[in-house]
Amino acid sequence: MAVVIASNLRKELSGDPLFDGVSFKVERRDRVALSGPNGTGKTTLLRALVGETSLQGGDLAFQKGVRIALHDQRPPLERRLTLRDYVLSGAADLVQLEVELRRLEQLMAAGDHDPATIRRYGEAQARLEHAGGYDWRERATTVLRGLGFRNEHLDRPLESFSGGELTRASLGRALGGDPDLLLLDEPTNHLDVESLEWLERELQSLDAGVMIVAHDRWFLEAVANSVLELEAGRSTYFSGPWHEWRIEKAARLQAASKNADRIGRDIERLERFVARFRASTEKMARKAQVKLTQIERLEKERAKVKGEVDLLTRRGKQLGFEFLKPARSGRTVVEAEGLDLRIGDRVLLESSSFAIERGEHVALVGPNGSGKTTLLDTILEKREAQGGSVRLGHGVVPAYFSQQELELDLRGSVLQCVQRATGLQRPDAQKLLGRFLFSGWTEHEKPVTALSGGERRRLALALVVASGANFLVVDEPTNHLDLESREALEAALEAFPGTILLVSHDRALLDAVAERTLAIEDRRLNPYDGGWADYVRRREELRAPARAPADSKPPKQKRSAAKTKERPTELERIEAEISDGERVVADLEGRLAKDWNDVELLAAHRRARDELHALLQRWERLFERSHS
């Protein structure tokens, strides 16, 4: 059953349409990725669904009694509440449901057996059981633990948390209220990879309709089973996983481009006819006039098709760049021996040693708070280590792209910032800004302090690109970047001929760029070959329980036991199939790491992961049955 049906929605801003004719349907178990460039109305649509902003046209039909929860990037207004009370406030209807159940129980105990009373009691009980029964409060706090909070955080007031923690609290509130329709605007922000993986599993199992705005491609591939794209005021709905939507868009672009080429050839042929016979005999001149009419019609058709091609390629507003070829450094770019890092009394790293060589692209991964940014600051001599040593090699010229854009000079305009940081003359500085979507006098003269988060990231990227550095230290570069900009950054980093040390929660970026991974685990820095998929596979292998020791019976007894061994149970057979399925998925992820755009590999990976998920569900049912 659909939880919401939208028909021909129209939203205007200052009298101009933001979007028009938007139609879609969301059913339970639907996971709809809301896609489109920044500024096309994705967040506005989510807020319209929850009733926070009005629409100027169209209809919304909700399932009776539907419960809607919205998570976006706005921090909580009430800061005096504790984290626990704030999250539970998102489930006020469950509190009222408990009150209603107690009231109905008292009525029935007093002899009220009216069918309406019994029906209402059954409905209320079913609703509460859907939310986890009377233990729904514990489930809500379990959600917080999945998002990285600890038990000691639950009774702290919201005003004591950072901005990123408040964003995670908002996500926990939305998830903890057992909604029928869950609206998520950038839910992956401020989550470490462990929390991201937990969120993926949670959304896959949730009995609700979900609409998601996100720029994390790995996350969308894991969660979404349909796509609603908003672009140029129009909407396109696609039923299928994220990678199939990307394939569909590529096919549409190819078809539109071929159509444009065909029309162009027809126009050229007709123009040659007109040029040849326009001044010829009267009969041929009349034919030439007919051809001119055909040319006008084809020109209109070509303009329409060209508009579709431009829309599909989003020409004119794409971030596109490449790094300067850097000077050659010494063979060893970074070397650390016996490194100890602490913040206050908290130990981050103990006796850690590593080296990064010229030309290596290395990912640095670890949970939030494990010390990734602290390590980067220590490598760049922005802070001191508490033990051991770390040094840059000969001829190393680093450039730091940090989370806080600390490298930006906040004095004056955007153009002045670029000129001071790069030494470029005004025309070259303006060209550089244009490549990073700062176009025209107004944007060039905008004060740096007035830039949005996304604009600050683009400006910082421009400075790194123009630096000529041979060692890029990059900390969360994709924050505030849309999907197309992330892909442009990915291509540029992958092609960079120098050395890279990359910290990111964008697993697609890590997998595409990194050739080696350094993981902060239990206060140690452990090396792994390959990118993200290789690291995950090796991590899971290490986490798997050790196999039982070999049978110590004498050989004769072992042979006898083998003869009488019972056939494997269904549970054991499923476990073997799961093991095989995990190997298949891991192998496909390793191959995808080399080519994320391989259509056949993507489809095979999706099928293998779905089959594995089905096996795991079957195993859970069999396990519960055998232990009940």
CA atoms of 527 and 538, how far apart (whole Å) = 11
- What confidence tier does 606 reach under pLDDT thresholds 50, 70, 90? low
235: which strand partners?
Answer: 230
Is pLDDT of 471 > 50? yes
Element (H, E) at 333: strand 332-343
Cα angle vertex 63, ends 60, 69, to 5°? Answer: 80
CA atoms of 230 and 9, how far apart (whole Å) = 12
**One-letter amino acid of 186:** E
pLDDT at 181: 94
Query: Token match 């850097």: residue?
Result: 326
- What confidence tier does 308 reach under pLDDT thresholds 50, 70, 90? low
Question: Over 362-405, what HEC string results?
Answer: EEEECCCCCCHHHHHHHHCCCCCCCEEEEEECCCCCEEEECCCC
Q: Are 378 and 354 in contact (CB under 8 A)?
A: no
Residue-wise pLDDT for 246-298, tens only, equals 888 777 777 777 777 777 777 777 777 677 666 666 666 666 667 677 777 77
Is pLDDT of 175 > 80? yes
pLDDT at 316: 44
CA atoms of 61 and 49, how far apart (whole Å) = 10
- 578-586's contacts with Cβ under 8 Å and 24+ in sequence apart are 578/612, 578/615, 578/616, 578/619, 581/608, 581/611, 581/612, 581/615, 582/540, 582/612, 584/608, 584/612, 585/609, 585/612, 586/533, 586/536, 586/537, 586/540
pLDDT at 556: 43
CA atoms of 234 and 228, how far apart (whole Å) = 10
CA atoms of 38 and 230, how far apart (whole Å) = 10
Q: Is 564 helix (H, G, I), strand (E, B) or coil?
A: helix
Q: 15: which residues sit within 8 A by CB, 6+ positions away?
A: none
pLDDT at 219: 92
Q: 121: which residues sit within 8 A by CB, 6+ positions away?
A: 101, 104, 105, 108
CA atoms of 148 and 144, how far apart (whole Å) = 7
pLDDT (average), residues 306-332? 70
Is pLDDT of 450 > 70? yes
The values of phi and psi at residue 226, to 5°, are -160, 165
Is pLDDT of 528 > 80? yes
The most confident of the ranges 29-33, 119-123, 427-431, 602-606 is: 29-33
Query: Token match 């994705």: residue?
Result: 42
**16-27 vs 31-35, strand pairing mode:** unpaired
Is pLDDT of 328 > 50? yes
Sign of the torsion angle spanned by Cα atoms 485, 488, 492, 494 = positive
Element (H, E) at 94: helix 92-109
pLDDT at 131: 63
* Token pair of 190 as six digits: 């401020």
- Angle of helix 163-176 versus helix 193-205 axis, rounded to 10: 20
pLDDT (average), residues 517-534? 91
Of 7-21, 303-317, 370-384, minimum mean pLDDT range: 303-317
Is pLDDT of 472 > 50? yes
pLDDT (average), residues 343-348? 88
In percent, how much of the chain has pLDDT > 70?
82
Residue-wise pLDDT for 204-255, tens only, equals 988 899 999 998 889 999 999 999 999 878 888 999 888 888 888 777 777 7
| DSSP annotation of 518 | E
| DSSP annotation of 152 | G
| pTM score, whole prediction | 0.68
pLDDT at 398: 93
